[in-house]
């Protein structure tokens, strides 16, 4: 094999190695722990793709299903200790190597991922949920729960000009039918090529607090809080808008009412009401 590149990943303590298989232009990629005691690899040979897995003191080669080169198989075989985690890191490296982003920023605890580059793949013109899921499928190693997520397109914005048209597709993740209040956006240039993916997608099995406070009670609490804050007892605040979302906090989702109201003093206020505990927070006052 011809060695092309060797890259140390200090955050995970592994080394990624890429090269070409003998008498072929097909790539072979490997991931090993820092001490080189174990290795996981993906080898392209003719029309098949193979995964190299440590099993006991030896290695076994498995042929991967068609179009499933990111599939992790170590959990389903008698793999050596540490092989499952090593294969996870390996498939993440494969996904990034295929996309070739110029910039990557991932915060696992916050479930955020930012990819930027000249060409992160093609985005169909339809801008549909199905189109988005097709694009995101390539990120499955980085966001394992992608296949089971429910999404909803909220906006398609023109971000370019007549000489250089571009668009941004914004979408929400839905959990229990409620939108998760986090930013998700794909930016596409005039060629239909993706230049940025800014994702904040929580796992499908994330802890979610149940909704206890209903809409009527949320309004009552909002009006009572505003009357108290503005020292008014003459009349209740007028509710201008009300939305129910899932807010991400402390590693879990909490149902939250987002209310805009006009207080008796004539000023507009934003309120967040915890749909589980009923706590009310006046976020800001007076829309300028």
pLDDT value at position 252? 93
Reported pTM: 0.83
Question: What pLDDT, on the 0 to 100 scale, is given for residue 172?
Answer: 95
Quote the tokens at residue 35. 């001490």
Where residue 234 falls among pLDDT bands split at 50, 70, 90?
A: low
3-state secondary structure of 24: coil
Q: Which of 142-146, 157-161, 271-275 has the lowest mean pLDDT?
A: 142-146
For residue 1, pLDDT over 60 is answered with no
57 touches 46 (CB < 8 A): no
Residue 240 reports pLDDT greater than 80 = yes
- CB distance 210 to 276 below 8 Å: yes
Position 5 confidence tier, pLDDT thresholds 50, 70, 90: confident
pLDDT of residue 222: 93
Output 222 or 263, whichever has higher pLDDT.
222
Mean pLDDT calculated for residue range 279-285:
84
| DSSP element (H, E) containing 272 | strand 268-274
Domain ranges of the chain: 2-99, 103-200, 215-285
pLDDT tens, 99-112?
889 999 988 888 99
Contacts of 56 (CB under 8 A, 6+ apart): 78, 80
- Residue 269 vs residues 42, 246, 277: alpha-carbon distances, Å: 56, 20, 21
Which of 279 and 74 is assigned the larger pLDDT?
Answer: 279
pLDDT band of 65, cuts 50, 70, 90: confident
Name the residue with higher pLDDT: 23 or 194. 194
CA-CA distance, 120 to 106, in Å (whole number)? 16
**Lowest-confidence segment of 13-17, 117-121, 254-258 by average pLDDT:** 13-17
Q: In terms of Cα–Cα distance, which of 25, 26, 59, 60 is closest to 44? A: 26
- Read off the pLDDT of residues 157-178 as tens digits, 9 standing for 90 and up: 999 888 889 999 999 999 989 9
Confidence of residue 133 (pLDDT cuts 50, 70, 90): very high
In the sheet with 14-20, reading across from the earlier edge strand, the strands are 2-9, 14-20, 27-33, 39-45, 48-55, 58-63
Outline where 126-211 has alpha helix (H): 129-136
């Amino acid at each position: 094999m011809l060695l092309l590149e060797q890259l140390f990943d200090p955050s995970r303590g592994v080394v990624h190695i890429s090269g070409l298989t003998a008498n072929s232009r097909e790539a072979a990629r490997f991931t090993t722990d820092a001490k080189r005691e174990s290795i996981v690899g993906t080898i392209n040979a003719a029309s098949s793709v193979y995964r190299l897995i440590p099993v006991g003191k030896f290695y076994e080669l498995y042929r991967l299903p068609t179009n499933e080169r990111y599939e992790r198989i170590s959990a389903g075989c008698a793999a050596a200790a540490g092989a499952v985690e090593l294969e996870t890191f390996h498939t993440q490296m494969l996904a990034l190597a295929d996309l070739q982003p110029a910039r990557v920023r991932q915060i696992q605890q916050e479930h955020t991922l930012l990819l930027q580059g000249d060409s992160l793949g093609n985005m169909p013109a339809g801008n549909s949920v199905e189109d988005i899921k097709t694009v995101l499928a390539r990120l499955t190693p980085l966001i394992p729960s992608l296949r089971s997520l429910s999404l909803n397109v909220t906006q398609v914005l023109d971000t370019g000009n007549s000489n250089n048209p571009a668009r941004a597709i914004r979408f929400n993740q839905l959990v229990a039918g409620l939108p998760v209040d986090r930013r998700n956006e794909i930016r596409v240039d005039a060629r239909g090529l993706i230049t940025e993916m800014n994702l904040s997608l929580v796992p499908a099995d994330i802890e979610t607090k149940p909704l206890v406070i209903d809409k009527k009670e949320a309004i009552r609490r909002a009006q009572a809080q505003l009357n108290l804050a503005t020292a008014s007892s003459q009349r209740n605040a007028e509710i201008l808008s009300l939305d129910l979302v899932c807010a991400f906090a402390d590693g879990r989702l909490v149902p939250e009412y987002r209310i805009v109201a006009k207080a008796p003093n004539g000023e507009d206020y934003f309120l967040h009401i915890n749909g589980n505990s009923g706590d009310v927070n006046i976020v800001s006052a007076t829309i300028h």
